[in-house]
């Protein structure tokens, strides 16, 4: 009999390179110091992590748990995603059942990590508030959310709040270069900048884009990143806007058609690229305001389901007429 070929499991780099120590977490130095202090004391209050996606909230929670419990961390840790299970029954059943039992270690409490806690209904948050009060001796909560304002005040007052900031280009570059070195990749500085811009400071998204790029080539260039992401190139968008403002509608329309059909870029992505490049135009601020206002109108129509090509053509026509007005 022929032996079956072994199928190699594809690793997700966001999990493979998730930090295992406080020192590996980038861009959140002050927050990490506070978390380390709690671990050294082997005691902590309920925690509320608030900040943008991909800034390290889940990673920090896992590092805290692993440092507190060592190899037994899985038995003393429950992770729930509130966006999947957002009703009051989740708090009454899953959370309470886990919270009421004692920890299986020398640390006297378990930890429940509730991701996307701002997706919980108000009723579920009220039930959670009571659970946090009643089971403080045997359980600590780490709540993670993008917007702390969506968490009710009674829960916020019971938590030590950690506000995460979006990661900078330098922070993302450190992570990407470390991964590139480990995976034997060559990555250009321009490619790192492109990955950062497309991820908007979201480290998880930047790593996923790097992995997608690495599946094509071991040399990660800016051009490769644009190809993988299927986003409009800034130079092409700048050229299109300038042509439209000069009154060359036909050439501007041709560039737009190329983006939408040959490069397969969506209208929403094109309009967002136009908005970014409009801010860099060498025109007075009043003119910029009028153009950006028009861009906002077109973006709204696209979201509502209008035809992409017609709406973007209309925007180019507006830019052409606006350019003529500025010349007068």
94: CATH: 3.40.50.300
In a domain, 33, yes or no: yes
The list of the chain residues with pLDDT below 70 reads 1-10, 82-92, 328
259: CATH: 1.20.272.10
Residues 175 and 269 in one domain: no
Note the pLDDT of residue 3. Answer: 46
Count the domains in the chain. Answer: 3
Looking at 145, 163, 181, which one is the last position of a domain?
163
Return d(Cα 38, Cα 205) in angstroms, integer.
29
In a domain, 6, yes or no: no
Note the pLDDT of residue 94. Answer: 74
Distance of CA 31 to the CA centre of its chain: 19
Residues 224 and 238 in one domain: no
Sequence-separated (6 or more) residues with CB below 8 Å from residue 148:
48, 50, 118, 156, 161, 163
Note the pLDDT of residue 201. Answer: 85
In a domain, 216, yes or no: yes
Sequence-separated (6 or more) residues with CB below 8 Å from residue 67:
22, 39
Note the pLDDT of residue 72. Answer: 86
DSSP 17: T
Note the pLDDT of residue 89. Answer: 63
In a domain, 281, yes or no: yes
Residues 157 and 60 in one domain: yes
Looking at 209, 229, 249, which one is the last position of a domain?
229
* Residue-range definition of the domain harbouring residue 120: 28-163
Residues 107 and 218 in one domain: no
In a domain, 224, yes or no: yes
Residues 248 and 280 in one domain: yes
Residues 196 and 273 in one domain: no
Residues 267 and 212 in one domain: no
In a domain, 44, yes or no: yes
Residues 146 and 193 in one domain: no
User: Backbone dihedral region of 121: left (phi > 0), alpha (psi from -120 to 50 degrees) or beta?
Assistant: beta
CA proximity to 100, closest of 123, 126, 78: 78
195: CATH: 1.10.8.60
Partners of 143 in the beta sheet? 48, 114
Distances (CA, A) of 159 to 128, 257, 328: 12, 52, 60
Residues 216 and 319 in one domain: no
CA-based torsion, 285, 289, 290, 296: positive or negative: positive
Return d(Cα 280, Cα 292) in angstroms, integer.
12
Residues 294 and 308 in one domain: yes
Residues 224 and 246 in one domain: no
Looking at 196, 212, 229, which one is the last position of a domain?
229
In a domain, 87, yes or no: yes
In a domain, 11, yes or no: no
Note the pLDDT of residue 1. Answer: 44
Residues 38 and 159 in one domain: yes
């Amino acid at each position: 009999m022929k032996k079956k070929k072994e199928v190699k499991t594809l690793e997700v780099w966001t999990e493979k390179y998730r930090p295992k120590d406080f020192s590996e977490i980038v861009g959140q130095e002050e927050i990490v110091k506070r978390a380390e202090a709690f671990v050294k004391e082997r005691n902590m209050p309920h925690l509320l992590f608030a900040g943008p996606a991909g800034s390290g909230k889940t990673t920090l929670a896992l590092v805290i748990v692993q440092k507190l419990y060592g190899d037994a961390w899985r038995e003393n840790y429950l992770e729930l995603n509130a966006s999947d299970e957002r009703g009051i029954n989740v708090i009454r059943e899953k959370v309470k059942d886990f919270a009421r039992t004692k920890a299986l270690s020398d640390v006297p409490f378990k930890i429940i990590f509730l991701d996307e806690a701002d997706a919980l209904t108000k009723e579920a948050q009220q039930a959670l508030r009571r659970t946090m009060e009643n089971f403080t001796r045997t359980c600590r909560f780490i709540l993670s959310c993008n917007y702390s304002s969506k968490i009710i005040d009674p829960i916020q007052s019971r938590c030590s709040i950690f506000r995460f900031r979006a990661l900078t280009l330098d922070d993302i570059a450190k992570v990407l270069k470390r991964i590139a070195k480990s995976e034997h990749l060559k990555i250009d500085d321009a490619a790192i900048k492109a990955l950062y811009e497309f991820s908007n400071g979201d480290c998880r998204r930047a790593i996923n884009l790097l992995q997608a790029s690495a599946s094509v080539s071991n040399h990660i260039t800016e051009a490769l990143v644009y190809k993988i992401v299927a986003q409009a190139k800034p130079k092409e968008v700048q050229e299109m806007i300038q042509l439209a403002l000069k009154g060359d509608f036909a050439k501007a329309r041709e560039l737009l058609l190329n983006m939408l059909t040959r490069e397969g870029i969506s209208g929403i992505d094109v309009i967002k690229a136009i908005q970014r490049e409009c801010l860099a135009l060498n025109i007075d601020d009043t003119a910029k305001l009028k153009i950006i206002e028009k861009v906002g109108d077109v973006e709204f129509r696209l979201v509502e389901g209008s035809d992409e090509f017609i709406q973007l053509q209309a925007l180019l026509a507006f830019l052409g007429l606006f350019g003529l007005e500025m010349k007068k």
